[in-house]
Amino acid sequence: MTSSRVLTGIVVCALFLSCCSPKAPEPADLIRFIDALTEENIVRSPLRGTTAPPEGPDLRYPVKSIPLEEASISVNPLGLKRRLRLEGTERNTLFAPPYSEYAFDVDLAADSVLEFAVGILREAGPDGPAAAVKVGEAGVDFRVELEIQGRKRTLFQKYVTEPPAAEVPGIQFARHRMELPYDAEKARLIFITRGESTCSSFWANPVLFRKDRSGVNVILISIDTLRADHLGCYGYQRDTSPHIDALAEDGIRFANAYASSSWTLPSHVSLMTSLHGVHHQVYHDDERMDPELVTLAELFHSRGYSCAAFTGGGFVSPAYGFAKGFDTFDVGSGGVFHQDSAARIHRSVYGWIDRHQDRSFLLFLHTYQPHSPYSCPLPYKTMFLDENSLFGQVDLFHHLGGRENLYKSLPEAERQNLIDLYDGEIRYVDDRLIGPLVAQLKTLGLYDRTLIVFLSDHGEEFFDHGAWGHGQSLYDELLKVPLILKLPDSAHRGAHPETIVSLVDVMPTLLEAMGWDIPLQALDGRSLFPVLEGKEAGDRIFLADIGNNILGSHVPRKVATNRGRIKMILNEGFTPEDLEFFRFAPPQRGRAELFDLAADPIESRSLADQQPGLANEILRWINDFYTGARKAQTQKARIDQSVRDQLKALGYIR
């Protein structure tokens, strides 16, 4: 293990080497047959004896598939374990070109359930679309057999015909679930594909589990670009968030939670890994997280949780490494091209929860709904507008005239118009995602045993400090985010700690809540339970930063941290080339800004000149911390056209 990998080595060695090697679990465990597959399970495969091409894509598999690189995947015989993108959703798949046969030894209990999906996919080959076939002429016969004490019975059989040749890509896909009322300590499940087909055939997320409604579910909700001070539970006067406020009353509202960055990608990487930016090193839009970093989803995956994500895509896409550990990662349901994206996400999530209510699950939800463009369905888009408002929807940077006008002042009426539209977006998310989600959990009897985390990755600036949007500064309107924690059975209900905490604390908090004894020395965050239980006094130190010239913004690198309620922002200077880019000059800031948040919560008066000793002390700490940091190895993100289109719709690229 190289020095750059030391950061995650403790967690990997302690957890995954002991928990994730392929084996036949006990009946109470969820068995993922993709994880469990070894060479010994492959009874027959047409790929035996074939080799992948030394360069270029492996044409034995669909172009839109990649080998699984998960902490739980110790072996991948013949490259059969893959992640496949189908219509905006990435699923873990076990490829099975006919004739394939995979056999697994399992222990069955009377309440066991087998669940899987079958599918075939036609793609255009190197010489264009595959040869035409008549519908029904060719296809794949999928079969599942159960063997107990030498006797076999067929549990499932379905012949799936190839999609018409005119459909490129063409997809046939269907989910199946069956009860297995057998009590057998030694049984064998056999997955078979036969037939003549020019398409790729696969089993998607095949699992065996026992029904159990006693475990704790976890739902992590990230509302992109949501300022804490625009929610009723954080003191906002407008009625933007009645359902979020109710969740806060039923849970714990952290009054001073800080994000790790002021834009989406690095902030979510920190959330999912409990690492500061200087450790995970994802600072720019063409970077993805180090595959060796262990994510929150991987930890839950290793403990037998069903894991799914429904996001708005863009910077929260598999291209940046976020799909690791998730069985399903959906970026199509609530994409950024829809004004009703939050409602679309809920419609997909509703069905997923209904199908997974009889097992423990981790669910990650993310929506860009409050993000620019500020546009949502009626009556929400006009809910807070003044009768003299100039516009009923707006794309922020298009309205400004591009990032060159990041520091352009607008008339107060226009500024308020933007805020009104932004608030309408928040209320839409509240009514169409949060309210229905909580109602469904209560209807299904899941609410009391579900741990819900509600947060945002960063806020939004409306010229509070002379600029617009996010990613350009580290003031509190961008870093101070909502953090609400609803524990099972509403433990600590109504608490509202004032302690300064960070979003990197979320991951270790969830691990402690689950009672998992996992070494946490490699993480930057710490569990929040000592704060809740009164065992920790004083504010924690947060750390936030942005890289240099992110998204072509011409804004130099910045770092923010604190000592109690004293906050420092370290600003690198603009180059002459940077200053030439802007049509309106950036506000003049000192290299170091120091604010007393208790006396000056809007950060209007820097105390750096008045307290040079404290400023220099914090500066030395920042320098030592960044100089000695153990840095992960980032990779270039594989950004396809669909992700580029999403980023363009969000205003990040042109």
**Cα–Cα distance between 387 and 398 in angstroms, integer?**
23
Judge if the upstream peptide bond of residue 25 is cis by omega within 30 degrees of 0: no
How far apart (Å, rounded) are the C-alpha atoms in residues 80 and 193? 14
| pTM: predicted TM-score of the whole model, two decimal places | 0.92
Q: What are phi and psi of 430, to 5 degrees?
A: -60, -45
Cβ neighbours of residue 18 closer than 8 Å, sequence gap 6 or more: none
Peptide bond preceding 61 in cis form (omega within 30 of 0): no
Residue 587: count other Cβ atoms within 10 Å of its Cβ. 10
Residue 600: predicted pLDDT: 98
User: Which residues lie below 8 Å from residue 403, measured CB to CB, with a gap of 6+?
Assistant: 397, 551, 552, 553, 554
* Three-point CA angle 337, 452, 289, nearest 5°: 60
Structure tokens at 647: 């980023």
217-538+635-649 belongs to which CATH class? alpha beta
pLDDT reported for residue 58? 67
Q: Please give the pLDDT value at position 26.
A: 36
Q: Report the SS3 class of residue 618.
A: helix
* All residues at 6 or more sequence positions from 116 whose CB lies less than 8 Å from its CB, including other chains: 144, 175, 176, 203, 204, 205, 206, 207
Distant-in-sequence, close-in-space partners of 290: CB < 8 Å, separation ≥ 6: 280, 281, 321, 632, 633, 634, 635
The span from the CA of 476 to the CA of 510, in Å, is 25
Residue 219 pLDDT? 98
Residue 192's φ and ψ, nearest 5 degrees, are: -130, 135
Q: Which tokens hold the place of 5?
A: 């990998």
3-state helix, strand, coil in the chain (%, to 5): 30, 25, 45
- Taking the C-alpha atoms of residue 319 and residue 380, their distance in angstroms, rounded to an integer, is 32
Domain chopping of the chain, boundaries: 3-210, 217-538+635-649
The pLDDT of residue 236 = 98
Give the strand order in the sheet containing 42-44.
42-44, 100-108, 184-194, 139-148, 151-161
| Opening angle at CA 553, ends 547 and 556, nearest 5 | 45
Q: Which of 607, 609, 558, 554 is nearest to 585 (CA)?
A: 554
Distance of CA 610 to the CA centre of its chain: 42
Query: What span, in angstroms and rounded, lies between the C-alpha atoms of 62 and 122?
Result: 8
| pLDDT per position as a tens digit, 254-275 | 999 999 999 999 999 999 999 9
Residue 8 CA to residue 485 CA, distance in Å, equals: 26
CA-closest candidate to residue 94, choices 113, 108, 112, 73: 73
What single DSSP character describes residue 432?
I
- b/e per residue 95-105 (b: at least 16 CB within 10 A): bbbbebbbbbe
Q: Which long-range contacts (CB under 8 A, 24 or more apart) does 534-542 make?
A: 536/499, 538/499, 538/564, 539/256, 539/499, 539/500, 539/564, 539/565, 540/499, 540/500, 540/501, 540/502, 540/505, 541/500, 542/258, 542/260, 542/479, 542/500, 542/501, 542/502
Task: Profile the chain (654 residues) by mean pLDDT over runs of 10 residues.
Answer: 31 37 44 95 91 67 85 88 88 95 95 95 56 59 96 95 76 93 92 90 96 92 97 98 98 98 97 96 93 93 94 90 94 72 92 95 95 93 93 92 95 96 97 98 96 98 97 97 94 94 97 83 90 94 96 94 97 94 94 97 96 94 92 78 62 59
pLDDT confidence of residue 626: 94
